[in-house]
Amino acid sequence: MKDMSYLRVMERKNEIMKQAIGIDYQQFELSPIAFDYERMMKEVGYSLNEIKEIQSETGVGNTPLLELKNITRLVRKISKPGYGAKIYLKDEAANPSGSFKARRASVSVYHAEKHGYRGVVAATSGNYGAGVASQAAMRGLKCIIVQEVYDSTGLGQPEILEKGRKCEAYGAEVLQLSVGPELFYTFLKVLEETGYFNASLYTPFGIAGVETLGAEIIEEIRKREGKDPDAIVVTHAGGGNLTGTARGVQKMDALDTKIIGASVDLSGLHMASDKAFNRKAFTTGHTGFGMPFATWPDRADVPRNAARALRYMDRYVTISQGEVFYVTEALAQLEGLERGPAGNTSLAAAIAIAREMKEDQIVVVQETEYTGAGKHPSAQLTLAIEQGIEVRRGNPADDKPGERIIIPEEPAQIHVKDVDLDKVRQSYLKNVVEKIHINSVNKLELTFLAQEIKESEAYVLRILQEMGVNLK
């Protein structure tokens, strides 16, 4: 019998992961800093056409692209003359599990079936679990979802509880845990004990599955408008949504389309804190994931994360909790679409961004998600009030995560805040220096780092030299 204590299991994590994913990440390593990202994506993943075929087998993809005529009309009313871009929305709620995560899950579950695994495991509190469970049911595989649901008092997030219910509806076994380090430990134990496939969010399979979403957006906008969209707004959390969408856009040669990440501003709330766990009104698509994963993507449950948002992000903005709740209601009442919170994060940002753009320009919101009892604004706002958080109408600039949720009184109050991408890039480089313990880099590593943060080698070298790191 193996020692299943916390320390011994964590010592075996690399061995467990290699067995559960079937990827030898070592073959892509170039140095302690650099690895061959594109080779990993090409050799381990699937081509765009192969993914389209895989997804067509289970009804994933080819979701409707909807022009939000009423919201566009509203935006133009509150914009200066000649401004207010046309807003399109990709309705990913039409996927079998109700979100774009079905695309990520489809390739992983297909790969697991192809290689003889009897089941799949995923550690997620979000829509991805439902995507994996749905795809596993279609392909006849067992499924276990490990969820972080409760604080230490046993109080569960309504949105996460709803997602757990959905996973169980698809026949998955759901292990519900409290916030803390037991999530990864339990996940590893389940993988080792079952021998199931690790359907991680962050493998090349998961990221490649989202490439079809970016490609479809470009194909459909070209068909309807005769040109490429000027901007695509992507809800940004762990980075896979943005990375996969952007790669699909690039594969369609839409090189002038700007990729804009958008997160709910939850600054000041520590995501791993038991005390803060139920003081946030959003469980994904927020800065608690968006910032850490942008500045150090390899914090994931695989040795090398295939989701690397800084490689693709042209702009990064935040939006307040109250603004997203307001836009959720606006989408339902103006467009007849009741959708969940994650996609409405990017929609809220797109409304503000569209006001900066001219009327002949196009901005696409690249996802929606299903809604349900726990995902509805009333459930999350009720929890907030029970936690002593003030909820009122007013100026959303007064919103303060963990203390106040301010819902706008009018649409003109919706604004984005730009994140300083230079600071994010510098934080990434600082993490490289501190976590890998380097005092010099070679030319290959310099090139890799420049690609990682979408900047010039001269920029990277200047920042590194300010940290005392020189070129060999």
238 and 158 share one domain: no
pLDDT averaged over the chain? 95
314 and 436 share one domain: no
Task: Count how many domains the chain has.
Answer: 3
Q: What global pTM score does this model have? A: 0.96
* Residue-number span of the structural domain to which 27 is assigned: 6-54+100-203
113 and 234 share one domain: no
Structure tokens at 374: 């726990």
Length of the chain: 472
- What is the pLDDT averaged over residues 139-145? 98
For the stretch 324-347, pLDDT in tens is 999 999 999 999 999 999 899 999
322 and 401 share one domain: yes
For the stretch 41-51, pLDDT in tens is 998 878 999 99
- What is the pLDDT averaged over residues 188-197? 96
145 and 278 share one domain: no
3-state secondary structure the chain: CCCCCHHHHHHCHHHHHHHHHCCCHHHHECCCCCECHHHHHHHHCCCHHHHHHHHHCCCCCCCCEEECHHHHHHHHHCCCCCECCEEEEECHHHCCCCCCHHHHHHHHHHHHHHCCCCEEEEECCCHHHHHHHHHHHHHCCEEEEEEEEECCCCCECHHHHHHHHHHHHCCCEEEEEECCCHHHHHHHHHHHHHCCEECCCCCHHHHHHHHHHHHHHHHHHHHHHCCCCCEEEEECCCCHHHHHHHHHHHHCCCCCCEEEEEEECCCCCCCCCCCCHHHCCCCCCEHHHHHHHHHCHHHCCCCCCCCCHHHCCCEEEEECHHHHHHHHHHHHHHHCCCCCHHHHHHHHHHHHHHCCCECCCEEEECCCCCCCHHHCHHHHHHHHHHCCCEEEEECHHHCECCCEEEEECCHHHCCCEECCHHHHHHHHHHHHHHHHCCCEECHHHHHHHHHHHCCCHHHHHHHHHHCCCEEC
Q: What is the pLDDT of residue 274?
A: 87
321 and 369 share one domain: yes
Q: What is the pLDDT of residue 14?
A: 84
Cα 118 to Cα 136: distance, rounded to the nearest angstrom: 10
Q: Is 156 left (phi over 0), alpha (psi -120 to 50) or beta?
A: beta
Q: Is residue 457 part of a domain?
A: yes
Q: What is the pLDDT of residue 336?
A: 98
Cα 380 to Cα 446: distance, rounded to the nearest angstrom: 45
Q: How confident is the model at residue 114 (pLDDT cuts 50, 70, 90)?
A: very high
Q: What is the pLDDT of residue 182?
A: 87
Q: For position 40, which CATH number holds?
A: 3.40.50.1100
- Residues forming beta bridges with residue 393, ordered by sequence position: 407
Last residue of a domain, one of 401, 418, 435: 418
Q: Is residue 389 part of a domain?
A: yes
Q: How confident is the model at residue 271 (pLDDT cuts 50, 70, 90)?
A: confident
Q: How confident is the model at residue 349 (pLDDT cuts 50, 70, 90)?
A: very high
441 and 342 share one domain: no
Last residue of a domain, one of 418, 433, 458: 418
230 and 196 share one domain: no
For the stretch 420-461, pLDDT in tens is 999 999 999 999 999 999 999 999 999 999 999 999 999 999
Q: What is the pLDDT of residue 273?
A: 84
Q: Is residue 1 part of a domain?
A: no
Model confidence at 387: pLDDT above 90:
yes
Cα–Cα–Cα angle for 234, 336, 409, rounded to 5 degrees? 75
Last residue of a domain, one of 379, 399, 418: 418
189 and 295 share one domain: no
354 and 238 share one domain: yes
122 and 258 share one domain: no
Nearest in space to 105 (alpha carbons), one of 131, 138, 78, 81? 131
Q: Is residue 139 part of a domain?
A: yes
Q: What is the pLDDT of residue 140?
A: 98
413 and 353 share one domain: yes
Cα 213 to Cα 249: distance, rounded to the nearest angstrom: 8
Q: What is the pLDDT of residue 45?
A: 77
- Residues forming beta bridges with residue 261, ordered by sequence position: 234, 316
